[in-house]
Every structure is written in C-alpha cells, then in structure tokens.
Amino acid sequence: MKPRVRFAPSPTGYLHIGGLRTALYNYLFAKNQNGKLILRIEDTDRKRFVEGAIENLIDTLTWAGISFDEGPVMGGEYAPYLQSERLHLYKQLVEKLVLEGKAYYCFCTPERLEKLKEEQQKLKLPQAKYDKHCLHLSKNEIDEKLISNIPYVIRLNVKPDKKIIFNDVIRETVEFDTNNIDDQVLLKSDGFPTYHLANVVDDHLMKITHVIRGEEWLSSTPKHVILYDYFGWEKPIFAHLPLLLNPDKSKLSKRQGDVAVEDYRDKG
Ligand code: GLU
C-alpha cells in the first residue's frame, strides 16, 4: 500500500520553523515512497484562531516548495480538509462512543473544575485529573440536563490501572500508565471537537498510514491509541521527530522573530 501522510497545522498565526521541518519530513517521505501528502487545517480551537493564518500557512509552504496532493485549495477524495467543516462527523462518532460507555457527558461547571484542581494541587498530585464525577450520573439525570440545555462536554472514559503500549519509529516501544491519563475532553461545549478527537477521526477517515509529527505530541499519543482501540480502528505508524534546538541545546526561543518561517524568508 502506498503511504498517505499529512501535515496538519493549526492556524494560530505563522508557520513555526519546527512545523516546516515536520512538513519537509512528510513531503520527502511521500515523494520517496511514491505516496501522497495531505494538507489538513486543524482549526478547532476557536480561541486561538487568527484571521488570515490559513492563507499565510499556505503561502509560506508554497514559498518553501512543499507541494501537496490533497488539501483545502486543490481538494481531494477526502474533502473537506478544514476541520471546522467536518463538525458533524466528530459529533456523530463521539456520540457512538457515549452509547458504548467509552465516553461520557460531563456537566461540571468551570468553578467545580477549578476547585478540584486546587484540591489536587494541595495534595501535591503530579497532575490535575478529572475525578469522573459525571461518569456516575444516571440516564435520567443526563436526559434532564440535556433537555434543560445545561452546557456539557464529552470526555474520554479512560480505564484505570492499564498500560498503553505502542510503537514509535524513533522511540521504539513507548509505554504509558492509564492512571496518568486524564479523561480528556473530546467534544467541547461549543460543539467543536478537541484536537485529540478530530485528529484521530481525520487520520482514520483520510486513510493516513504514517503520523510523522513533532515530539511535543508524544504525550498525546496514548490518548489517541485509546481512541483508535475504542473505535476499533487500525492505528497508523507513529514517528515523533525530536524537537529543533538552538546550538546550545536550549529550546528555540518563543519570540516570533526566531521561529517564524516568514522571518527567515524576509531575512533572505
Ligand atoms: N494541529 C497540530 C499542530 O498544530 C497537529 C499535530 C499532529 O500532527 O498530530 O501541530
């Protein structure tokens, strides 16, 4: 089978130099293997959305000579390639998980969640985790709240005391303990999916064979592996690329001037 890989940026401003490196690896792998490279715009975080950022991403990638076989401009068999135009798919699929007990409605208020976090911080727990409060609501309680239009999110039901083990091309065997994995929000109260849900659904529906992305996503991968298993879908091959660093091994500065591809271009 010919590989299908994707570059999946979020339109939050400019193309990060690390993003261009990820795009380049995907591009070279697709070319080398006679595969296809897909551009997918992950615009599900409305708070971080920046006007003009999609056009800017496409212009910068075009300038860098990275061409795509499918994407928002040229279309393709698996269109649309803008996640904000695929909301019905995420909703439909996450509701299926709810029916199967693999995900659940959560009506907790921001105030309750904040209090929970503070309590957990006082106990010096390594990370704040949702306490599964709403997992124990009865069907009637849930229906009543839905009818009364109480805002809700849908969360992943992570089973405790299990090991999530997967293979990464670069890291080889990677293991996570489910006790350290939060019941991740999959669908937000604005009806948009989170990155995790949309990313897994689209990689599956768009028949992506290899997920090649930055190492900063490695800690999200166990959540994705749980989702693939819950949906009963075959997992892609994962390759998490080490981060780009300064010569002194420090992280690249967040100041836009040091990390935006367009600045390197403008400086010649
Ligand atoms: N939207 C994510 C980003 O902004 C994509 C991560 C991934 O490739 O899964 O980098």
Closest CA to 48 of 12, 76, 93: 12
Distances (CA, A) of 132 to 34, 185, 251: 46, 12, 36
Give the rounded percent of residues in the chain with a pLDDT score beyond 70.
Answer: 98
Residue 246 confidence (pLDDT) = 81
Q: CA torsion 259→49→238→130, rounded to 10°?
A: 120
Which amino acid is it at 167? Answer: N
Determine which residue's CA is closest to atom 5 belonging to ligand 1: 8
**Residue 193, phi then psi, degrees to nearest 5:** -75, 160
pLDDT at residue 84, rounded to an integer: 97
Residue 48 pLDDT > 90? no
| Nearest ligand 1 atom, CA 212 | 8
Q: What is the pLDDT of the chain when averaged over all its residues? A: 95
pLDDT of residue 213: 98
Q: Report CA(139)–ligand 1 centroid distance (Å).
A: 35
Q: pTM of this prediction?
A: 0.95
Distance 221 CA to ligand 1 centre (A): 11
| Ligand 1 pocket mutation, candidates 6, 199, 259, 261, criterion most atoms within 8 A of CB | 199
CA of 224 to the centre of ligand 1 (A): 13
- Check if 213 has its Cβ closer than 6 Å to any atom of ligand 1: yes
Q: What is the DSSP string of 212-242?
A: EEEGGGGGGHHHHHHHHHHHT-PPPEEEEEP
254 is catalytic: yes
Residue 47, pLDDT score: 87
- Interval 15-33: pLDDT, tens: 999 999 999 999 999 999 9
Among 122, 139, 254, 267, the active-site one is: 254
